Amino acid sequence: MYSGTDWGNKSSSVSCPVPADVCAEFPHHSNTVPSLDAIMSSTMVVRQPQPTMVAQNSQEWGSDICDCCDDVPECCFAFWCLPCFTCVTAKKHGECLCLPLLDYIFIGGCIPTITMSMRVSMRQRYGIRGSMCNDCVCSTFCTGCVWCQMSREMKRRNIQIVMVGAKYR
């Protein structure tokens, strides 16, 4: 059984602290705990499971224009402060931070040209089918929803893989 000092000794195996009658119920359970050297020299997993996305390279939008429930925080941000949301989304898309503000300066026009051009640009970048006529109608009558849809699409298609605890030698 465990004596209290064996756990710190790297070179020795110690007896399992689990009672023998419990060990007997599990036929694959070893009665000894491997040494620290044995644990540390085990094979390192090189390939981790990858995130799976359905139809990442699809020719369709990943969500419909009114699917605000797919990303509620983003849609709330857009609802309460659309100018700020459009600027942040444009910056993530690689455009000038203040570009969407031009839609608000030219309020007299009936078509938000910056919103429409961003939507067309995103369709071309990701190979999404559609037409400029549809982009024009959506941008004119559902401006906030269009920006939310574009934000969801960028998140869906740009998954960043972060290596946690990776060490390079």
Residue identified by tokens 């094979």 is: 43
Helices within the chain (DSSP H only): 20-24, 36-40, 72-80, 82-93, 101-105, 113-126, 132-141, 143-157
Alpha carbon distance 118, 89 (integer Å): 10
Residue identified by tokens 């037409």 is: 131
Read off the DSSP letter of residue 141.
Answer: H
**5: enclosing H helix or E strand:** none
Q: What is the pTM of this model?
A: 0.60
Alpha carbon distance 21, 41 (integer Å): 30
The pLDDT of residue 53 is 45
Taking only the tens of pLDDT, the chain with its 169 residues reads 444 444 444 445 555 666 666 656 555 555 555 666 655 655 555 665 555 444 456 788 989 998 888 889 999 999 999 999 999 999 998 889 889 988 888 766 788 989 999 999 999 988 999 999 999 999 999 999 999 999 999 988 875 544 455 555 5
